[in-house]
Structure formats: structure tokens, C-alpha cells
Structure 1
């Protein structure tokens, strides 16, 4: 059970890393660049051996997601942060989208096929992260956007009218759906947010302390 909670925590951190990047992009047009690249890389590994392998086998690559997860599991922190409710809504919207995708064989297969093609092309000709983001955004439009449910991203109207930002947000939402798939595959369920909140918080706190240890690399 301990190992399972660890994996569940990591996958939730992956989800949280996605939604906090979406929030940053929608508000300012910018986001944590390294975490953005890690989310893109997570989409280029279709056959992971572990949850952590999707994120470069380094817990520190999920630091932003872990800190966000901990804040969303802390009732007092939620009350103090105006964006917490919005990010929680994003999480449950991602779960809804993942459910729809899982039940739609057509678009699920298209998604897998398009990602496989992109991965092969990336191997033959290394793409920049900006180009990968554009390609992943188009895959999102070709699949997820046709599932009959859309995540309403709120933020600066000026920022959200920028097509580059729109594509980055779609790309990150796709990585969030991927993380949600992993979360469900390893036993993640909605009720855990209520009944196992303390256990998940414990593992997140333990890993964050290890990441922050100067001896940890």
C-alpha cells in the first residue's frame, strides 16, 4: 500500500504540475520553463516502466507539482490562495475529460497514433519544445476537443487571445490528461482526496524534504 500511495502521489503531482502551469500561462503568458519542458517530455514516453520514468526518473522534476499538490491538500492553504478553487476545478475537469477519452475508442486510438508518429519524427529530427508544443496542441484539437466537454480556462483575456499561449495551454492540458490516465491505472480514485488526503500529503512532504536536501541530486 505504501508503494501504491507513492505512485499515486507522483501521478497526482504530475496532474498538479500541469494545472499550475496552465494557471501561470493563463494569468501572465509565462510559466516555469523547466516544468513546461518536463510536461512535454512526459507525452513522448508511451511505454513507461514506472510513473517516475515518465518524468525523467527524477523526483525533483515534479517539485512544482508536489508543492502544488500539498497546497491543495491543505485546507488552510486553500482558503488563503484565491487560485486554489480554480485549480481544483481544473483537476476534476481533467478527470472528466480522461473518462470521456477512455470511453471513446475512436479518439483514443487517434491520440495514440498521432503521438506515436510525433515520437518517431522527433527521434529522426529533434524538434524544439516550441514546435513540440504546437504539434501536441494540434493533437489535442484533433482528439480531446471533440469529446463534447471543454475545460474553461480563466485568466487574462489579453493573454488568452494569444494563439501561442493557447497552444501551450492545450499542450499542457494534454499532459495533464496523460497524468490522469496514469493516476487511474495505478488505482487513483476521487474518494482518495477525502479519505486518504493525509497519507498522500505525508508522501508528498517526505519527497519534497528529500528534494530540498542539499545532498539530494
Structure 2
């Protein structure tokens, strides 16, 4: 995929898919396994060949693309202020992380080490999720602002959910890195939302025609 705007749309969809799963876990105690697995698997794609390679194909981002389309089309859909707040905070944390090369190096090293211990990143197991959560807790979570997740206290107190939320926040940071690598910025969200919307709809149409790989 050579279209830089499509690459940016994929990166944004990656962030939103991970954050949407966080929302669902916080509110309802669960989220679709396919969406969670695709988001977490992207963490291990440190040297991808393309933007879609980060996620194992465009089809793995179908949920994120639909959410992105809704957030960009304000005339047809109602914006989700909470989700957008998470998005901006993630982008801000990724920006701060760039100014902490030692911390970034630590994250990279731990992910590479975990990848060597993981039999199949396409099927993320609970122990892998726990270790990803630990990476987030001891690195990203030490920076400010810390992301405050809203939801039902019953769900947010369960250890399994805490680990999944932290691992998904790490996944959202990984997609934020891709967004930055494609030249994306917070200014692009404001000034080029129409361009992003058009490319997102092209990707959604591409998937609706039964395609899965590169557009």
C-alpha cells in the first residue's frame, strides 16, 4: 500500500481498535477476541514491511476502521468524547516516549525477549497478556499523564481485565508509533479529517468486497 493517507488511516484504526476494546472491557467486562488478538499481535511487529503488515492484513482492522469512520463522519455519527480523549492522551504519551530513548529501548528489548518466548503471536495466551501488561506498567505507566480508564468498578477490579487493559494500551502506543512514522500528527486530525475519512471509506469498501490483504 503506497498511499500515505491510507497508511495513516490504518494507524489511526489500530489505535482506536485497541482503545475501543479497552472501553468494552471497562464497561462490560469483555471485548471481541479477534479484535483484541489483532491489536496485541501488532506489538510484536517491530520491523514490518508495510503498514498493513503490522496488523497481519487490513481485515484484522475491520473494527478499528468502522470506529474511525464513525468518529470522522460527524454529520452521520455522534463523536465519542471519551474515546477521543484516550486517543489524544496516547498520542501525547508516544510523543513523550520519543524523548526517553532509554525507556524506549527497554520496551523494545522486553518485547523482543517476550517474542522469543511466545510460540504463536497470532494466538495470544493469558501469560503473554500478563507480561505485556507488566511491560506497560513498568514503562509507559511511569510517565504522565497516566491514562485514567472509566468503566464499571466491578470489571476494572478484576486482575484479568486489568492485564488486558494495560496490554491493549501498549498496543495503542505501538499503533501511535506507526501513525508518527507515516508522518501523522495531531494537526492532521484537525486539518485533514476529510482526507482521512475518504481513505477510511475506501478501505472499508475494499473489505466489503471480500478482500483481506493490501489495497
On whether the aligned pair clears a TM of 0.5, the verdict is: yes
- Which of 186, 190, 203 is the aligned partner of 1:190? 186
- Equivalent residues of 1:160, 1:166 under 8 A apart: yes
Regions of 4+ moved over 4 Å = 123-128
Residues 113 and 206 of structure 1, relative CA distance in 2, 3 Å threshold: same
Residues 118 and 199 of structure 1, relative CA distance in 2, 3 Å threshold: same
Q: Which residue of 1 aligns with 2:208?
A: 212
Q: Cα deviations across residues 130-179 of structure 1 (Å, max 9, x unaligned)? A: 22111100000111111132001001111111111011000000000000
| Residues 49-64 of structure 1 aligned to structure 2 (within 5 Å) | 49-56=49-56, 58-64=57-63
Residues of 2 paired with 1:126 and 1:12: CA distance?
Answer: 21
Q: Which residue of 1 aligns with 2:164?
A: 168
2:67 equivalent to 1:71: no
Aligned length: 211
Residues 126 and 75 of structure 1, relative CA distance in 2, 3 Å threshold: closer
Tell me how far 1:197 sits from its aligned partner. Answer: 0.7
Residues of 2 paired with 1:125 and 1:6: CA distance?
Answer: 25
Q: Which residue of 2 aligns with 1:48?
A: 48
Structure 1 gap ranges (5+): none
Residues 127 and 31 of structure 1, relative CA distance in 2, 3 Å threshold: closer
Q: Which residue of 2 aligns with 1:104?
A: 100
CA RMSD of aligned residues (A): 1.9
Tell me how far 1:15 sits from its aligned partner. Answer: 0.7
Residues of 2 paired with 1:20 and 1:116: CA distance?
Answer: 26
Residues of 2 paired with 1:118 and 1:129: CA distance?
Answer: 12
Residues of 2 paired with 1:126 and 1:212: CA distance?
Answer: 23
Q: What TM-score, normalized to structure 2?
A: 0.92
2:140 equivalent to 1:141: no
